[in-house]
Every structure is written in structure tokens, then in C-alpha cells.
Amino acid sequence: MRVLLVEDDDNLRFGVAAALRAAGLAVDETVDLPQADEALFVTAYDCAVFDRMLPSGDAAPYVEELRRTGGAVPVLFLTARDTVADRVEGFASGGDDYLVKPFAVPELVARVRSLCRRAGVVRPPVHRVADVEIDTARRQVRRAGLLLTLTSREFAVLEVLAARADQAVSRAELIESCWDEMTEPQSNVLEVLVSQLRRKLGDPPLIRTVRGVGYRLAPEGS
């Protein structure tokens, strides 16, 4: 899942981005509305987090215009503007959630993940492929009942593959969903991670290489 973070305070932006990445989300960072507009034009995001008061203006009218022109990305406003009128204005402009500074980082991560799940198709909370169970709500993976220890990025890749079980998922799609603009797409980062994931999942192998395309999560013989 990929998130756009629009925040001009460097320390806050770095901290929030780090927390979201630690939760397995890909994060693109921008500092003003023109940058956000360009990012939203070229990339499909599962969620966008906007500070309301930016150097280029209030994000609420921008989001309102975004909605008017068909933009459907879920939006969370992250702001120090904490009056009831401010919150009402944020929702009225097209915001889906509103979190007031200062805030608890775990709560922010939970709210962003919730908004990401609203984007696109509704996914089941638990995916099952052969004897592997991927619990997306608890972020746990079990094989034959045994709990596996995965990194947040390994879980993110497995989650995308599980949502498209038995289908080939391209390398580009996996990079787009699980990494952000700081990752060099031509590197072998995905191949290394898939190798580690295969080792942790064990035998019989479930992640198949689809030559010239990417990977597929499917039981042996399917």
C-alpha cells in the first residue's frame, strides 16, 4: 500500500514517514500543494495525509477541488487546527479522517492503514493459500499453524501476492505497491526479498516465478 505524505515540518514529516514505513507502507513525501498535485497526477495512492496549513495554502480547498474533479483517494488531515468548526470544515471539504496535533504515532498508523483498506476493492481480513494463513488485520502469518516472523516489507509483498492468489503479479506492481520513490526500481531489492520470503515460508514452495512477468502465490501443481 502506498501513501502520500504532505507536511512542511521536516522533523514531523521524517518521523511520520519513518513510522509508516516501519508499518510496511510505501511513503512518498512532499512539502506543499503543487508537489502533492504532481504526485497525485502521476501515482495511484491508497491514502494521502495532508497537513492543513502549508506554505502554499490551506489543504482543505485543494482537497475539495480534488473531489470535484473526481479524485477519490482517501484523505487524512493532520493539523493543529482543533476546533469543532475546523474538523467540520475538513470533513465538508472531502476529508475522510482528521487527526489533531499532537497525536500518538500508533494511532496515526492505524488510521492510515484503515483508510488504505478503503481504497479499491474490499479485501478479506484473512487470506488462506494452501496451509498458509495471512491475517492482514493482526499482520501475522502462519504456516501449518506455526507463526512466522516476517519483516514489514516481506509482509507487504506477501499481502499483495495473497490478494491476487493464483494470478501473476508483475515486478512493477509489487515495487509500486510496496516501495516508495526512494527505491531504485532497477535494483534487485525485490528479488532478494522474495528469496528471503521463500526461505521463511519453507516447503513446499508457494511463490512461483512467472518468467518475464513477476511472481505468483499458488500451491504446488496449480
- List the one residue out of 155, 135, 129, 131 whose CA is nearest residue 145: 131
> Is the pLDDT assigned to residue 183 strictly greater than 70?
no
Question: Are 135 and 141 in contact, with CB atoms under 8 Å apart?
Answer: yes
To the nearest whole percent, how much of the chain has pLDDT over 90?
A: 38
- Amino acid sitting at position 49: V
- Report the pLDDT value the prediction gives residue 123, as an integer from 0 to 100: 54
pLDDT tens digits, 48-104: 999 998 988 899 999 999 888 888 899 999 888 888 888 888 888 889 999 988 889
Phi, psi of 31, rounded to the nearest 5 degrees: -120, -5
**What does the DSSP assignment read for 120-177?**
SS---SEEEETTEEEETTTTEEEETTEEE---HHHHHHHHHHHHTTTS-EEHHHHHHH
- Report the pLDDT value the prediction gives residue 50, as an integer from 0 to 100: 95
Question: Are 26 and 43 in contact, with CB atoms under 8 Å apart?
Answer: no
Handedness of CA 222, 195, 168, 202 (dihedral sign): positive
Burial class for 179, CB neighbours closer than 10 Å (0-12, 13-18, 19+): buried
Mean pLDDT of the region 152-162? 89
Confidence of residue 124 (pLDDT cuts 50, 70, 90): low
Phi, psi of 75, rounded to the nearest 5 degrees: -125, 130
| Distance, CA of 152 to CA of 103 (rounded, Å) | 23
Query: What pTM value is reported for the model?
Result: 0.63
Which option is the CATH number for 126-217: 1.10.10.10, 3.40.190.10, 2.60.40.2470, 3.30.950.10?
A: 1.10.10.10
Q: According to the per-residue pLDDT averaged within each range, which of 5-14, 22-31, 122-131, 181-190 is highest?
A: 5-14
2-118 classified as CATH 3.40.50.150? no
Mean pLDDT of the region 116-122? 62
What is the domain partition of the chain in residue ranges?
A: 2-118, 126-217
